[in-house]
Structure 1
Amino acid sequence: MPYDRTVTVKGPFDQVQQNVRSALADQGFGVLTEIDVQATLKAKLDHDMEPYLILGACSPPLAHRALEVDRSIGLLLPCNIVVRADGDEVVVQAFDPDAMVNLTGLDAIAPVAEEATRRLDATLAAVEAAGRNRQDGSA
């Protein structure tokens, strides 16, 4: 069962991750947590790897709706967004909210998952468009 929604864009990692943050904000998400996996693995294990961020994004209204259905849904919140370098491209991945419905088996979560999916897909589309505009020289 796929559990991600993914786009790949060309561009500098720092610019793409800023585009992700901006697109999330435009869709009503705040970034509550940030894990710099690259820095953490370097500091703790002296392991070098490509830039890799995990952003914990949250839409309070959607989180509230989900928690009203199932208090244990907090195990699946916030929505994790991964921004990672892959050669000269940057992969942006969002946790697929439909997986919440499949994991919990709660049909009442479906409307929340559908709204979250719509917003995350809009976020990914905006990131993809920003990458295309940068390539075309229009941004």
Structure 2
Amino acid sequence: MGYALSTTVNQPFEPVLYAARSALVEEGFGVLTEIDLAATLKAKLDVDIPAQVILGACRPPLAYAAVQAEPSIGLLLPCNVVVRAIDDTTTMVEAMDPEVMVTMTGNENLAPVAADARERLTAALAALTA
């Protein structure tokens, strides 16, 4: 089993980052955290990598249902969505497949939550190439 849902968008990084935030909101997620990995690595290690931002997306009803089913699930939250430049005109957007929560925990009570989150994340990714 893979661990990521992904799409490649034939657009530059900045517009795709903006569109990814919007697509997540359209699917009921809020972006709780945003980590500019490229800027952080430049500041801390003075190394350069292509533009890459990690968005920590959360849909509170799903997070609540997940915590009810598996109290330690916070270790796997929020849903990370990574937007990264491949080159000047191509951007990859990836999200951790929520089904991984079920596999990692062995808790089948998480299956409906994971399925809902997966459906919403898949729709958000699809909106980027529509």
Q: Give the Å deviation of 1:128.
A: 1.5
Alpha-carbon distance in structure 2 between the residues aligned to 1:104 and 1:128: 32
Alpha-carbon distance in structure 2 between the residues aligned to 1:72 and 1:95: 18
The answer for the alignment partner of 2:116 in structure 1 is 115
Matched, 1:29 2:29: yes
The answer for the alignment partner of 2:53 in structure 1 is 53
Q: Deviations over 1:9-65 (max 9, x none)?
A: 111211000000000000000000111001001111110110000000000000000
What does 1:97-136 correspond to in 2, within 5 Å?
Answer: 97-129=98-130
Structure 1 stretches of 4+ with a deviation exceeding 6 A read none
Identity among equivalent positions (%) equals 56
Alpha-carbon distance in structure 2 between the residues aligned to 1:103 and 1:63: 16
Query: SS where residue 6 of structure 2 aligns?
Result: strand
Unaligned stretches of 5+ residues in structure 1:
130-139
Name the TM-score, length of structure 1 as normaliser.
0.91
User: Would you say how many aligned residue pairs link Structure 1 and Structure 2?
Assistant: 129
Query: SS where residue 28 of structure 1 aligns?
Result: coil
CA RMSD of aligned residues (A): 0.6
The answer for the alignment partner of 1:73 in structure 2 is 73
Alpha-carbon distance in structure 2 between the residues aligned to 1:39 and 1:114: 34
What residue identity is the alignment partner of 1:19?
Answer: A
Q: Deviations over 1:84-137 (max 9, x none)?
A: 0002310000000000000000010000000000100000000121xxxxxxxx
Name the TM-score, length of structure 2 as normaliser.
0.97
The answer for the alignment partner of 2:16 in structure 1 is 16
